[in-house]
Chains A and B, each alone.
Chain A
């Protein structure tokens, strides 16, 4: 008979002791005293069990703290992250270090002194100035303030306004980057007097002015201006008739909330410059003011959408498909509905293809979050026009959200977005041109911060110089 674990206790005895089925009438077998060793082992077992009973809850309580709870899933933006672009760029900051929350509202590659060397014209709404950046031999850039301080300049365009042979600047004086209906806006002329720029006010006591574009609109040989008064609740589109001697008479073309850009070109091919206008702020339209000559214009809406939340943020003129007709590119990405922004699934780039006679067909060429500006050039040097997009309001809380996006043209005006860069962020304005003379277009973008991101995501004026070899 096998011995039990407790020596000295035969199975019969164990079973007798354990039995609970003995009839009451049967006398219990006499108790058999345990040997000393058996008593000692029994106590140890009890102590072990007791210890376990005490330690197990302590162990459970401690262990539970480290047990991960499941996180509620978060739905993230589908229009913020893209595969990397094939093209290679050298990225560098132009001008001084960014400092605290830069606010660059406009950049443009120009040749102001007509020496065939490219310069970068910049509107800075933090330092309240227009600057010109000239390249120096040692790859540095010289910062030259133009004219006097201005209240939040929003756009600057070179033009010989007074017909004296040199390039002046017309500047849109926004007056405030933050929304306001107050009459803080101005139209300014920075007159070039032998390389020194002198400020003149052409229009004052108006609401925020977001764009000014020059052209001879009435065909009398001098330069007039198209003006977008963005305002906030109230705005308007004006054309300013040049009366000579620095005097301009303003004429109203449209009274509306939200006009932001007024590019000028001969859209209908009749030889006279027409005015296109982006009107956002719940309207989300593009208007064409057909020039009938002698200062008369016929307004017509060439694009509209029911989506009042489109976020129209920029409108530029370009012959995207190189068919000889000037098209329009509309970028959408503005989304400050309440107090914070988020990229929306309808943001991106729309191509308003000019089909002749001032008629336009609309094509969406990219869906990208928070787009604020676009520039067109043949970036991959394959004979067709590509587009680069600057993102102002992408999903900056998530790493890798694109701030600079390339839309490479496959030759048939099909584009797919690829990320050139994800920092710096809050890119509000962009321009393209050959900065370094290598025959390939480069990109310059300006940042406009409403928040304070980490230092490695802050830029001010950033250049992406294209390299010949593809990205690794």
Chain B
């Protein structure tokens, strides 16, 4: 055989060997799971496919896993994060996220093993890992193991709270109360310690303490900080920044920056992928700002018909009618909304309807509605911890409608929170004159010894 042929045979053999190796590697190479996207909008589905097609490194796998987790494909998320952790066995973060994904599908022993792995690799959030291990032991109804784990969580307030709860269930009520009191003092706006102390008082039949602590429970507005807050943040951040949701988010940012044309573009793209009332509602807002109220009317009418008649949507529809000089149509939808509106978000509805009546020279109809708007201003200020502002607004409320019993009650609360007990009593009593069955006023008066 000539040298040429020898060379060619050698080349062919080498090519076959390399090809064989590549084939084995290909068969060995993992491909990311692709769930059924038939119920996912086209924008989001194509983003998923792009991510999956580019899954090469551990980071790629982790990114896909986190995205699956944030969008509700939990088993696929766990598979991807499992693989990322396998590709990079040193990564603490992959172990941690894999643990979190295992937790979401209820594989708690395995989740705990991964948290321990993250701890062993010196994850920066060791205390949080122990906290999560403890929580998983609670899920598995293993109080002793939970106790141990929370004990290793470095004095995290959330861990201390769990230890207090375990003490309470164990009958060590004095210890539970002591820890809860410490937490209540350290976190004066957090309700869970007040809730625990309230329950302990209830158990020992201490009525005056339960009444006081019930009041504290309602006045403290926020939960205790927990490690879960961090996870919630990244999950929501990931979800909002992906696919169609990203269009919606970016549209909001454009609108906030005053770039309404850009916002409109993004909203229309989101709607083209899938119609949703929240997106169409936002679009109506944007086109309204761009001085196209007729389009806003069309969009909102469709939102109301297809997505349901919330009082907020009806209020906005009324505003669009006003911009079109169709005051009667505005009145009709606002009166419809007023029949079932409730809560602080109705404030602008009350105000706009009151203005309509005022302009129509119907003060008897306007005043009670202004009163409701001021009532909301007052309770908002009270919730925000500004009792003096609350008093100002609530005084306007009772001036506009002296028969609005709940405004007198709220005024009493505002005075009480500002430690003006005589003024508080006066306001509560006024409330009860109008409505003798206002249970909250009765309870608050009792707290003042009245």
Contact surface of A with B, Cβ cutoff 8 Å: 18, 42, 45-46, 49-50, 52-53, 56-57, 60, 63-64, 67-77, 99-101, 103, 125-128, 148-151, 173, 175-176, 180-186, 199, 204-205, 233-234, 238, 241, 243, 247-252, 254-257, 299, 304-309, 337-346, 397-399, 451-454, 457
Chain B residue nearest in CB terms to A102:
B308
Residues of B within 8 A of A251 (CB): 439
Residues of B within 8 A of A199 (CB): 339
Query: Is B32 interfacial (CB-CB < 8 Å)?
Result: yes
Q: Are A75 and B16 in contact (CB under 8 A)?
A: no
Partner of A56, one of B19, B73, B199, B442: B19
Residues of B within 8 A of A53 (CB): 8, 11-12, 15
Partner of B9, one of A49, A63, A70, A453: A49
Partner of A204, one of B141, B235, B276, B406: B406
Partner of B15, one of A56, A103, A181, A344: A56
Query: Is B214 interfacial (CB-CB < 8 Å)?
Result: yes
Q: Are B143 and A76 in contact (CB under 8 A)?
A: no
Chain B residue nearest in CB terms to A125:
B308
Residues of A within 8 A of B73 (CB): 397
Given contacts A183-B344, A184-B343, A306-B143, A67 and B83 within 8 Å (CB-CB): no
28 contacts between A and B (CB under 8 A): A52-B8, A56-B19, A57-B15, A63-B23, A64-B22, A67-B23, A67-B26, A69-B31, A72-B79, A148-B340, A149-B340, A150-B340, A151-B310, A151-B311, A183-B342, A233-B223, A255-B214, A299-B202, A305-B141, A306-B146, A308-B135, A338-B231, A338-B236, A340-B74, A345-B106, A346-B106, A397-B75, A451-B39
Total CB contacts across the A-B interface at under 8 A: 219
Partner of A339, one of B199, B239, B339, B342: B239
Query: Is B437 interfacial (CB-CB < 8 Å)?
Result: yes
| Nearest 5 CB-CB pairings of A with B | A340-B72, A184-B343, A250-B439, A249-B437, A60-B19
Chain B residue nearest in CB terms to A70:
B30
Q: How far is the CA of A457 from the CA of B36 in the complex (A)?
A: 14
Taking the closest CB of chain A, its distance from the CB of B111, in whole angstroms, is: 12
Partner of B5, one of A49, A71, A305, A346: A49
Residues of B within 8 A of A257 (CB): 195
Chain B residue nearest in CB terms to A307:
B139
Main SS at interface, chain B: helix
Contact with A along B24-42 (1 / 0, CB 8 A): 0011111111011011000
Q: Are A74 and B106 in contact (CB under 8 A)?
A: no
Given contacts A306-B146, A340-B72, A452-B39, A75 and B79 within 8 Å (CB-CB): yes
By CB atoms of chain B within 10 A, which of A72, A101, A248, A345 has the most?
A72
Residues of B within 8 A of A451 (CB): 39, 72
Given contacts A233-B222, A307-B141, A69 and B195 within 8 Å (CB-CB): no
Residues of A within 8 A of B440 (CB): 250
Residues of B within 8 A of A127 (CB): 308-309
Given contacts A49-B9, A339-B70, A74 and B309 within 8 Å (CB-CB): no
Residues of A within 8 A of B159 (CB): none
Number of interface residues of B (CB under 8 A): 94
Residues of B within 8 A of A185 (CB): 342
Given contacts A151-B342, A233-B223, A234-B218, A70 and B19 within 8 Å (CB-CB): no
Residues of B within 8 A of A70 (CB): 27-31
Query: Is B191 interfacial (CB-CB < 8 Å)?
Result: yes
Taking the closest CB of chain B, its distance from the CB of A225, in whole angstroms, is: 12
Given contacts A42-B2, A56-B12, A74 and B33 within 8 Å (CB-CB): yes
Residues of B within 8 A of A176 (CB): 343
Q: Are A151 and B341 in contact (CB under 8 A)?
A: yes
Contact surface of B with A, Cβ cutoff 8 Å: 1-2, 4-5, 8-9, 11-12, 15-16, 18-19, 22-23, 26-33, 35-36, 38-39, 70-76, 78-80, 82-83, 104-107, 135, 138-143, 146, 169, 191, 195, 198-199, 202, 214, 217-218, 221-223, 231-232, 235-236, 239, 274-277, 306-311, 336, 339-345, 379, 406, 436-440, 442-443
Residues of B within 8 A of A234 (CB): 191, 217-218
Taking the closest CB of chain A, its distance from the CB of B228, in whole angstroms, is: 8
Q: Are B341 and A74 in contact (CB under 8 A)?
A: no
Given contacts A69-B29, A76-B75, A128-B340, A101 and B307 within 8 Å (CB-CB): yes
Given contacts A64-B22, A453-B39, A252 and B307 within 8 Å (CB-CB): no
Residues of B within 8 A of A238 (CB): 439
Chain A residue nearest in CB terms to B107:
A75
Partner of A182, one of B2, B306, B336, B343: B343
Q: Are B8 and A308 in contact (CB under 8 A)?
A: no
Q: How far is the CA of A185 from the CA of B223 in the complex (A)?
A: 21
Q: How far is the CA of A233 from the CA of B138 in the complex (A)?
A: 21
Q: How far is the CA of A342 from the CA of B107 in the complex (A)?
A: 12
Partner of A454, one of B39, B343, B436: B39
Taking the closest CB of chain A, its distance from the CB of B297, in whole angstroms, is: 19
Q: Are A128 and B309 in contact (CB under 8 A)?
A: yes
Residues of B within 8 A of A338 (CB): 231-232, 235-236
Q: Are B30 and A72 in contact (CB under 8 A)?
A: yes
Q: Are B308 and A307 in contact (CB under 8 A)?
A: no
Taking the closest CB of chain B, its distance from the CB of A43, in whole angstroms, is: 10
Taking the closest CB of chain B, its distance from the CB of A60, in whole angstroms, is: 4
Residues of B within 8 A of A69 (CB): 26-27, 29-31
Given contacts A74-B33, A151-B340, A252 and B2 within 8 Å (CB-CB): no
Given contacts A204-B406, A247-B437, A338-B231, A255 and B15 within 8 Å (CB-CB): no
Residues of A within 8 A of B345 (CB): 182, 184
Residues of B within 8 A of A74 (CB): 33, 75-76, 78-79
By CB atoms of chain B within 10 A, which of A181, A306, A346, A398 has the most?
A306
Residues of B within 8 A of A67 (CB): 23, 26-27
Residues of A within 8 A of B36 (CB): 397-399
Given contacts A57-B19, A257-B195, A306-B143, A128 and B29 within 8 Å (CB-CB): no
Partner of B307, one of A52, A100, A241, A340: A100
Residues of A within 8 A of B307 (CB): 100-101, 126
Q: Are B35 and A397 in contact (CB under 8 A)?
A: yes
Q: How far is the CA of A252 from the CA of B2 in the complex (A)?
A: 102
Residues of A within 8 A of B239 (CB): 339
Q: How far is the CA of A241 from the CA of B231 in the complex (A)?
A: 44
Taking the closest CB of chain A, its distance from the CB of B384, in whole angstroms, is: 13
Q: How far is the CA of A42 from the CA of B342 in the complex (A)?
A: 95
Residues of A within 8 A of B28 (CB): 70
Q: Are B437 and A252 in contact (CB under 8 A)?
A: no
Q: Are A342 and B74 in contact (CB under 8 A)?
A: yes
Q: Are B83 and A77 in contact (CB under 8 A)?
A: no
